[in-house]
Amino acid sequence: MKVAVVGATGLVGTKMLEVLAERNFPVTELIPVASERSVGKKISFKGNEYTVVSMQGAIDAQPDVAIFSAGGSTSLEWAPKFASAGITVIDNSSAWRMDADKKLVVPEVNANVLTANDKIIANPNCSTIQLVVLLKPLHDKYKIKRVVVSTYQSVTGTGVKAVTQLMNERKGIEGEMAYKYPIDLNAIPHIDVFLDNGYTKEEMKMTNETKKIMGDDSILLTATCVRIPTIGGHSESVNIEFENDFDVAEVKDIISKSPGLVLKDDVANFIYPMPLTAHDKDDTFVGRIRRDETQANTMNCWVVSDNLRKGAATNAIQIAEYLAEKKFI
């Protein structure tokens, strides 16, 4: 299968190449794509060297699938051009997520909505992906009414510039700032731009994307998103109110048997998920599961996942795997 990776030299694009290799996706020809200034550079994949090409060069090469991680404006301009050439696009930006005509997919939750006619498929926001992987099996069993989530998000979600800022601060080096404030020894309650309602775009993405992926507009969700100085993954404190009562042991059993989830919940032995737990893993880890003693039918838990893998690259490639399995590509 001919596979184009758009944004192949970026943080997420590099991770996509890693995941394609690790999961043995059937790549017969790789077409790495990047901005004009990177065209002609060499990248290696599974022991072979490939030359970075331009957007038009990638379309001319006629890949079966193009996995985009190149920003919203690039996706808005180029994804329709790839699609009109018969190439299936899986897009990691926010450009198409809330488009009524485009599917927003987390394979463990709603891969069944995909068809051979879907030529632009949206990959959700990283913080939404790990949340809905947990919410889906619990919603099926108990029906979710309301979710309150606070996120503790890795600097890798911002990109290389933010990682460099953090490491520079650790070493006492002055350099380019990805954030308005220092990030080391700090927590910044501001991810993406502020909107008129006082929430950030990141927080509203979680609200709107969750409803679309879960296929249920009745789920109420409110979020506060915070950037912290970690590398391995995003963490989330999640409070879930159900219509029906639940048993904590049964919840743990459901999580342990659900695809994409790993239960790490043994507080007697100090076992709970952390960014270090999730780093370089494809699963979503869940722990600190307990009943909310202030409200009926409500539980608290802690959810951690590697935002560059399941939150971006792995989820996109799982979509491609599903399409390939169904012979849609």
Catalytic residues, which ones? 126, 234
Count of residues making up the chain: 329
- Element (H or E) spanning 43, and its range? strand 42-45
The β-bridge relationship of strands 284-291 and 298-305 is antiparallel
**Residue 32, amino acid:** P
- Element (H or E) spanning 147, and its range? strand 144-153
The pair of three-digit structure tokens given for residue 243, joined into one six-digit string: 């219509």
Among 224, 259, 207, residue whose Cα is nearest residue 97: 207
The three-state secondary structure class of 322 is: helix
Spatial contact of 85 and 66, defined as CB atoms under 8 Å apart = no
> Residue 212 and residue 174: Cα distance in Å, rounded?
43
- Element (H or E) spanning 33, and its range? strand 29-33
> Residue 160 and residue 151: Cα distance in Å, rounded?
20
The three-state secondary structure class of 242 is: strand
- How many CA atoms lie less than 13 Å away from 22 in the CB half-sphere? 14
From residue 141, how far is each of 62, 137, 183, 280, 302 by CA, in Å?
44, 6, 40, 30, 19
The residue whose two tokens read 């927003």 is: 104
Let me know if 60 is exposed, middle or buried by CB neighbors in 10 A (0-12, 13-18, 19+): exposed
